[in-house]
Structure 1
């Protein structure tokens, strides 16, 4: 069976050249002369056909964005797409919603914005409502000092919230830039409501929050102790690690640890330089060992990411690190700096007791402290496994969770925000490779995702950005309208319910009647029943047929929805290929000139993961000569639809949702301009040749005042003396003169 392949390019399909039946016609004239009686077209209809195909060449073509190398998102949603329902929160006068924190009960989202902290009620899936908000602006004195130090008082001299953690059941702890004078304070909670901040409770936040809102930072609270990493000075040249709060004394790194400044260890995320290890991703970074960034600890794995600019494009990788490997490396040997060669070598001397990093009773000796200062790097590297490698994309944030499929197997699900405002949902399979389920463009204009916060009890991901907070349901199962599409999506949150014939959100595993195949994505096995359950045979019988009734000699546009960016598409006409002489493909749609014998069943097929299935089926019929119903299609539900069409042989557009008449006029005008330009070029050619010949010197030019000879014989006589150069001789080695007959 032969099908017409659907691709981005437009190709006009002509019949094979036939032997002429009389006078030979040059070029396409032969085809036109044979096509005229074959298609039953009058000259005006033939002109319409010619302009129709010329129109296809001039119409702009669109190509699917690849989004760089690496996994391609199977489904893409653009900003405002109704297929992906999102909830949005913004507050007038506020911006830079950078910091997100989920309450312990999972019903409240605390948001750190510029000079304010908000509490949002997130229990309603469709609405994000404001519980209350407290201001925390930088003082006027601090803002004046900030502007005096040459900082921008319109974009920088504010209090940007950078730390927002849950201290206990009654208090939050927060820190901000405070107009380049970092400050921290406790916020009291009352039934998840925020109580106002008291000025006398605000303390210096140096080392906990950055000075500059653009500086990288991190903070985590463990057992009442805050561990933070940021820049410790106004210029941003002094990275520091710090331990504060809790019962233990304040502890921070010394400024002499210059290894924190190493350029090859600079991460590209919100975490500082100390959370580093090495991640080899030769597919993207050409064999370089790049620093990876620890984002979130998840059971026995560390999901990590790294971003690097290669060849003018950004590339990102997400790597997994085993805690067992990390523990093994920290129990191994140390590195030591050879002061003579300034090279790091393996330390082979005696170890101190207690070993650095271990717990001991009582204060450490000066010898142990000196050893720690001189041997703060481990000898071995923790090498991670790349789970997701993608070029052309720069990831800014990452949130991770686990999800179980119908069989109870756990899968790693990652939500990744990009610098252009997209959200990727990636699923890691059993072979440690990731596939992208979907891409959601959150903002109409590109801007980076500031933060991500998972809310498992709400089944959503919250996205912070400059203008507010988006609530994104973590799965969009209802968009998959068939079992085939639901299974091919390979989303652990979605499964096909044969009873309701819908793709549903998976609430619990071990639902025997539901269909899912996470590892292989094989609809032939998951969606078929009976003895053909393991068959990969295409589903040739459509679920529904769209009936199209048109008049003869009209141009029909049969759309084909592209459900998956991973599939290849093609059209068929019953059991055969589509008629090439009267059809072409534009942006996936089949453009068809309705003539005798071209009606019947037209199907757009998709092939994905080795499985072929019809995406849409049309029964094209003529108003003048209706076709008999195919017995094999009996019993299939039918739906009458009106597709865009245009009459070719006279008359106005009929039942057109989109008329081609403006395009026809445009093409006609363009054709006239092209013909006019060609005529001007042809007319200008003799004049150009005349000017060119007039510049030739020494080749029998006429004396001034004499006219060119009128007879052909006189014109063809060469001059007696002719000195030529290479530019004065034509292809036949003839001397070029200035005379023009």
Structure 2
């Protein structure tokens, strides 16, 4: 390749040198080519393309508990020592409707601090239960500085009435002591079913029923129905029973290390406890193992959250849960979403029991005689003593509840899930999942009718990593609300306007978005539905969906651009042509004119084309994206000579043109940099490091002969000895090291400790 004549400018020489170095590098892989489950579009925190609304209040923290009102217009929020009512009818920032304080009193805070809990992070009232009791009251519980308390909150026109001191009740068993402990609660038929820790130390898990006319019932601690490390994540009511989802140490397996397992427990709503045995205890408590695993892989054995999607008239109700694994590859864990049919759960609870063999201390399948009526069934009235005696030891089911993995994502830990169904243009129903992560991201995933999942987008809610505390879907408002430490985010469930072409709109495969050929916009799918709208959820094929637009029905990629960006530059310049990466699933390449190859005097760096302007390089340049076996031009440039304008190709006449300025660097004539580029600091850094390495190597090469000469010039026996070294051929005692040379062991330990510090 012939080089242009260079000027005396040092920057010009350095720029050309670095450009030549870049030409020698192999081109980096661009895009994922559709491989792997990755979000198609990513939005960083503060990205203007994804409009979010944040509600926050000065002095308030830990927006952990979210509750949607019955009409869907008000969002009740439980924060640290405060309960809020937010009006969410407007599409903008939620508006504060009312707010009432509920702090722990000074006496409880002093007791909390006396028990060596933190006054700055723990000795507060964290709201943990917020449920609708009736049309005029909410029921709330909080940690209350490690002394759980509950109260009724009156509503007046959806506004909150302040809490009176004499209305506060003991909340032990309904709210955890420690705000870090997981918990769950659901109100059914005026009765509260809770799963939490029942003591200050956090070693006594409990499932308890309070409120209402039925007697208070709880699990028996002595019988060890629950392991001391049980962690509750969800409570879901059904017709006759209430299901609790939790994670605990497996007792039926014997391994060298503790094996975690996910469980579903069941209690009957009409349980009244035993008369002689199991008084004020559950007589219908049963639990079974949940299994979420891919064939031939280690199971995802730690459940994080679960929700119920109401049954479709033509289908059965399903529970969707997010799991992680106690094992990890590298530094990150993987997550999975599994679906469990309520029919399968009911079948397992009607199957065989496990029992503990006291001689071998192993759990085996119970093969004894069947008891009639069956223990654990939801009978009317108390069970017989024989059945209760059986229930004491046979509370674990033999069969596992096997789930269907819908989505598996590596390098991510999901914390919360919200689900809904959305119908496409053809009337087919698709499952839409919103998943919060431990690092403050929100994923939107879609599962098609063939059970294949894809991630539509990834949204970074907060710049600094922190977990998403809660998710609340508001269907009437078309939004998802996410609670975190500093506030509540309102996230519109679709972002159709970011897709500027029919191809991009169809490839997104978002059931909420359709392409409108008349307005040439990707819009939100709403009634009434027009026949001209375009969408292809199953295949994502723009050849078919965009047939009436710029894309034809042929299998050939589109060759003519919709708009041409004209760039005029001087010869002997390094020109940068940028290519916007609209999809993380696409692979990108550049073409020159009708040729698929780019000139030898160019290279691709970070997706941009760096072009050294010489004779024969002028003309049309296009950046192509290939996704789902479909190729289309993302951007088209016409590069012309500013000194000798080149006529536009006749084939491109009639296409709209736009004059743009592209970053360039003159390498001839001694001109300075025309524009700063992000890769220049990297080039300079590499150059400086390379110079340092070469200098260091040269010094080492020179130092070796000098060291040998010095060694030869030394007089043996006249040099000073290293402290602690024995004098050769001498009876003298070894010299004691001076105090300056001593290294205390504590200093060594401190250094070692510094090296072993982990950063959360």
Give the TM-score, by structure 2 length: 0.81
Q: Deviations over 1:506-530 (max 9, x none)?
A: 1148532111111111111111239
In the other structure, the counterpart of 1:501 is: 520
Go from structure 1 to structure 2 and tell me whether the alpha carbon gap of 1:245 and 1:512 turns closer, same or farther (over 3 Å shift).
same
Q: Does 1:164 align with 2:130?
A: yes
Pairing partner for 2:96 from 130, 136, 140:
130
Deviates more, 1:160-169 or 1:667-676: 667-676
The residue that corresponds to 1:419 in the other structure is 438
Distance 1:165 1:660 in 2: 54
Aligned equivalent of 1:226: 192
Cα 1:694–1:233 change in 2 (3 A) is same
Shift of 1:681: 5.6
Structure 1 position 368, deviation (Å) = 2.1
Q: Distance in 1 between matches of 2:685 and 2:36?
A: 40
Partner residue of 2:163? 197
Distance, in Å, in 2 between the alignment partners of 1:272 and 1:667 is: 52
- Per-residue Cα deviation, 1:280-311 (whole angstroms, up to 9, x for no partner): 4247x943472546611112211012112413
SS at match of 2:17: helix
Q: Find the aligned partners of 1:428 and 1:125 in 2 and give their Cα distance.
A: 27
Gap change, CA 1:577 and 1:650, over 3 Å in 2:
farther
Alpha carbons 1:280, 1:287 under 8 Å: kept:
no
Report the counterpart of residue 31 of structure 1 in structure 2: none
Residue in 2 that maps onto 1:287: 298
Residue 328 of structure 2: aligned partner: 310
Structure 1 position 47, deviation (Å): 4.5
- The 5-angstrom pairing of residues 548-563 of structure 1 reads 548-563=567-582
Residue in structure 1 matching 2:152, options 186, 196, 220: 186
* Larger deviation, residues 353-362 vs 666-675: 666-675
Distance change in 2, residues 1:424/1:648 (3 Å): same
User: Does the Cα contact within 8 Å between 2:416 and 2:437 map onto a contact in 1?
Assistant: yes
CA RMSD of aligned residues (A): 3.1
- Out of 8, 23, 37, the position equivalent to 1:71 is 37
For the pair 1:513 / 2:487, whether they are aligned, the reply is no
User: 1:267 touches 1:292 (CA, 8 Å); kept in 2?
Assistant: no
Q: 180, 190, 200: which is aligned to 1:214?
A: 180
1:117 aligns with 2:83: yes
Q: Give me the whole-angstrom Cα distance separating, in 2, the residues matched to 1:513 and 1:245.
A: 55
Q: Is the 8 A contact 1:51 1:664 kept in 2?
A: no
How many residues are matched?
656
Structure 1 counterpart of 2:428, from 379, 384, 409: 409
Q: Which residue of 1 aligns with 2:252?
A: none
- Displacement after TM superposition at 1:392 (Å): 1.1
Deviation at residue 660 of structure 1 after TM alignment? 8.4
Contact 1:279 1:292 in 2 (8 A): no
Distance 1:399 1:444 in 2: 22
Q: Deviations over 1:15-37 (max 9, x none)?
A: xxxxxxxxxxxxxxxxxxxx33x
- Shift in Å, 1:694: 8.0
Highest CA radius of gyration, 1 or 2? Answer: 1
CA drift at 1:345 = 2.0
CA distance in 2, matches of 1:54, 1:692: 45
Name the counterpart of 2:562. 543
Structure 1 residues 660, 204: CA separation in 2 closer, same or farther (over 3 Å shift)? closer
Shift of 1:352: 3.0
Q: Distance in 2 between matches of 1:459 and 1:398?
A: 16
Distance in 1 separating the partners of 2:477 and 2:546:
30
Alpha-carbon offset, residue 683 of structure 1: 4.9
In structure 2, the CA distance between the partners of 1:317 and 1:667, relative to structure 1 (3 Å rule), is closer
Deviation at 1:277, TM superposition (A): 3.3
Alpha-carbon distance in 1 for matches of 2:688, 2:184 = 62
The CA distance in 2 between the partners of 1:647 and 1:694, in whole Å, is 57
Q: Indicate how the Cα distance of structure 1 residues 567 and 269 shifts in structure 2: closer, same or farther if over 3 A, else same.
A: farther
Using a 3 Å threshold, how does the CA distance of structure 1 residues 53 and 281 change in structure 2: closer, same or farther? same
Q: Cα distance, 1:140 vs. partner? A: 0.8
Structure 1 CA distance for aligned equivalents of residues 535 and 452 of structure 2: 19
CA positional deviation for 1:58: 12
Cα shift at 1:663:
7.8
Distance change (3 Å), C-alpha of 1:357 and 1:540: farther
Q: Which residue does the alignment assign to 1:586?
A: 605
Structure 2 counterparts to residues 75-90 of structure 1, below 5 A:
75-90=41-56
Range 434-443 or range 648-657, more displaced = 648-657
Q: Does 1:324 align with 2:335?
A: no
Greater shift in the superposed pair: 427-436 or 451-460: 427-436
The superposition leaves residues 146-204 of structure 1 with CA deviations (integer Å, 9 ceiling, x where unpaired) of 11111111110100000001111111011000010111111000010000111111111
Matches within 5 A, 1:468-483: 468-483=487-502
Instruction: Please say which of residues 647-656 and 681-690 is displaced more in the overlay.
Output: 681-690
1:428-439 matches, cutoff 5 A: 428-439=447-458
Which residue in 1 is equivalent to 2:636?
Answer: 617
Unaligned runs of 5+ in 2: 236-244, 248-262, 265-287, 312-316, 717-760
Deviation at 1:50, TM superposition (A): 4.0
Q: 1:523 to 1:693 in 2, by over 3 A?
A: farther
Cα offsets for 1:49-101 (capped at 9, x unmatched): 64232574899x999999xx951011110010000000001111110000000
Match 1:629 to one of 648, 666, 669: 648
